[in-house]
Amino acid sequence: MNAPASLPTRAATPWMAAALAVLAILLLAAAIFLGVADIPMADVAAVLTGGGSAEARLIILDIRLPRIATGILAGIHFSLAGYLLQTVTRNPLADPSLMGVSQGATLSVTIFLLFTVYIFEPGSNTLAELPVAWLPTAGLAGGLLAGGVIYLLAFRLGLSALRITLCGVAVGAVLHAVAIGLIAGWGSARIEIILEWLSGSLYARSWDHALFLLPFTIAGLVTLPVIFRPLMLLQFDAPVARSFGLAYKRQFSLVLIVSSALAASAVGAVGPVVFVGLIVPHLARFLAGRNFTLSLVLTIVLGAVIVTLGDLIGRLLGQAEEIPIGVVTAVFGVPLLLALLRKSM
């Protein structure tokens, strides 16, 4: 009976939960009060209570709050998708790229921009002139299509965690190579158009992006109680799971659909933010110990916290030329992963 490999854990205590709640509140406040534009705290507080100047209201209500909301939802999507994939594939290195979701979204967005900008609007060479409102939909469609192709390939070969992993790696590599080839052939004058999206960024994210993500967030969270028991059993090999009466293929497929939809929608909205789906589930398990329910809850909370923190760091360090959140999560994700691995030895 093979359970998923995981890092050694320690039991979470009430003070950990309290500390995490306080951290989340302080971080949310910092993300609202701090930014490139220097707004007095009194003015920010006035805006939050229904007053404030027109300029302060514009910055807080139309710039900071929507990007914070989008980041929170995207963080929940990435982390929860990674948790689900790591559980059912029993692969501690699984994240949304395992199902080819990130690569499929990247390729679809690249093709979308290529046709709409380079072919139909050859004079456009700045992000502001792009049909950016359609990028989330294009990314979502590509991510779901890639995940569906990988699932069908694995299903035809005999659905298993190993075959899902192998198909995901193979198809994802092909999709990524094609996308990079298109970007390289696009021309140096236009490469920067898509690089911002590829780096994973909350720049210029509006309430429309948050509203785009919200239905997927609600659907994913509502589905969790339905798949909770199957998810616990899917940690084990198929014969063991079936011995407990689990309809293995059906439940396995449902979990993959949920994880792919969460990941594809997040990638479509903010780009492929790396390491969140990989690191957060491990960090949650480390804090939660053997408590499966608590680790799932912590994954959701930590996903929102880490993306919000990464965006805040990028804004404060980069100032007007802000650092994309994907860069921040990559830089800080590697040492965090190494630290967690060191705890496992």
pLDDT digits (tens, 9 = 90+) for 291-313: 888 899 999 999 999 999 999 99
What pLDDT digit, counting tens, does each position of 156-212 carry?
Answer: 777 677 778 888 888 888 998 898 888 777 665 556 667 777 888 898 899 999 999
Whether the CB-CB separation of 127 and 193 falls below 8 Å is answered with yes
Task: Please choose, from the candidates 80, 22, 75, the residue with its C-alpha nearest in 3D space to the C-alpha of residue 311.
Answer: 75
In angstroms, rounded to a whole number, what is the distance separating the alpha carbons of residues 4 and 86?
8
pLDDT digits (tens, 9 = 90+) for 69-108: 999 999 999 999 999 999 988 888 888 887 788 899 889 9
Please tell me the predicted confidence (pLDDT) of residue 117: 66
Percentages of the chain per state (helix, strand, coil), in multiples of 5? 75, 0, 25
| Amino acid found at 279 | I
Contact of 89 with 151, CB cutoff 8 Å = no
Query: Distances from the Cα of 24 to the Cαs of 125, 130, 239, 273, in angstroms?
Result: 39, 35, 41, 20
> What's the distance, CA 249 to chain centroid?
25
Instruction: Copy the structure tokens of residue 198.
Output: 């590829």
Distance CA 157, CA 172 (A): 17
Rounded to 10 deg, the angle between the 14-33 and 41-48 helix axes is 100
| Residue carrying structure tokens 């995207």 | 74
